[in-house]
């Protein structure tokens, strides 16, 4: 792989409460996943962040999650498949409207938190999400975790799929993200994150917590934007990957 995409979740502040440093992160990343108001964000923050993303040449994605502000969308909710479709359609529609208001455009969708993690292992949930995206706008790129049911669902529904890896998360032997309650779930050392990212992007494999090596076909690298070292981590990754000969692109510019 000669190209890579660096994405981050943002616009997750709410009213006067601030989450992350979006203004500092936007000049570094290539694609922004914009919270749609259900797990974080609100209509003012959505529109303002989209406007800034567009000004920075950053492609914009909708980042829909469970309706769970208190739990930041990280608590599992038991919804019917119909509810999940409605949940996704509602938030994607809101994101597309906000983008239009500021002269921008939503070009991808990435589910958030518990919704993403649950659907990664549940084919029916994954298909419900993909169906909703296709119904609202079939031109959307589906940003989905590698080795997940979401990737399969996106392809089944005829969506363009960008397979996502995480620079700052450890992986379980089945290829899914290590649960956050584990002490080894997060990668905090920038050099280790860069080394792992280079392996995933250039060697196209993941090394899991037990040493298993899994083959992958990644397109986009996520760095979490809500930690105190998020900007420094993103800058270190982009500089290191560029120095290794890779070229940073927005998601619509990637060869999917």
User: How much is the pLDDT for 1?
Assistant: 64
d(CA 142, CA 107): 9
pLDDT-derived band of residue 20, with 50, 70 and 90 as boundaries? confident
Cα dihedral 43, 180, 160, 52 sign: positive
Q: 141-174: per-residue pLDDT in tens?
A: 999 999 999 999 999 999 999 999 999 899 999 9
Cα angle 203, 206, 210 (rounded to 5 degrees) comes to: 135
**What are the domain boundaries of the chain?**
3-253
Q: 63-112: per-residue pLDDT in tens?
A: 999 999 999 999 999 999 999 999 999 999 999 999 999 999 999 999 99
Pinpoint the alpha helices (H) of the chain.
22-25, 43-55, 81-101, 113-120, 123-136, 149-156, 190-198, 230-243
Of 179, 174, 162, 150, which is closest to residue 84 (Cα–Cα)?
150
Indicate if the pLDDT at residue 132 is higher than 80: yes
Mean pLDDT (whole number) for 181-208: 93
Is pLDDT larger for residue 115 or for residue 183? 115
* Cα 164 → chain centroid: 7
Domain 3-253 superfamily per CATH: Glycoside hydrolase/deacetylase (3.20.20.370)
């Amino acid at each position: 792989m000669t190209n890579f995409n660096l994405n981050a979740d943002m616009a997750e502040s709410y009213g006067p409460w601030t989450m992350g440093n979006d203004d500092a992160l936007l000049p570094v990343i290539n694609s922004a996943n914009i919270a749609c108001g259900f797990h974080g964000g609100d209509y003012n923050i959505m529109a303002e962040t989209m406007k800034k993303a567009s000004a920075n040449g950053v492609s914009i994605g909708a980042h829909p999650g469970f309706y769970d502000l208190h739990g930041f969308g990280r608590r599992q909710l038991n919804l019917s498949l119909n509810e999940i479709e409605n949940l996704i359609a509602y938030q994607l529609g809101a994101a597309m409207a906000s983008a239009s208001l500021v002269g921008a455009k939503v070009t991808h969708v990435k589910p958030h938190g518990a919704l993403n993690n649950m659907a990664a292992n549940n084919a029916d949930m994954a298909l419900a999400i993909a169906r909703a995206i296709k119904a609202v706008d079939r031109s959307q790129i589906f940003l989905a975790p590698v080795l997940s049911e979401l990737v399969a669902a996106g392809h089944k529904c005829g969506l363009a799929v960008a397979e996502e890896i995480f620079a700052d998360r450890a992986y379980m032997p089945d290829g899914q993200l290590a649960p956050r309650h584990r002490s080894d779930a997060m990668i905090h050392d920038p050099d280790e994150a860069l080394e792992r990212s280079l392996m995933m992007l250039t060697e196209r494999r993941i090394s899991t917590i037990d040493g298993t090596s899994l083959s992958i076909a990644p397109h986009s690298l996520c760095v979490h934007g809500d930690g105190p070292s998020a900007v420094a981590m993103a800058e270190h990754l982009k500089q290191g990957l560029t120095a290794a000969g890779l070229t940073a692109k927005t998601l619509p510019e990637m060869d999917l």
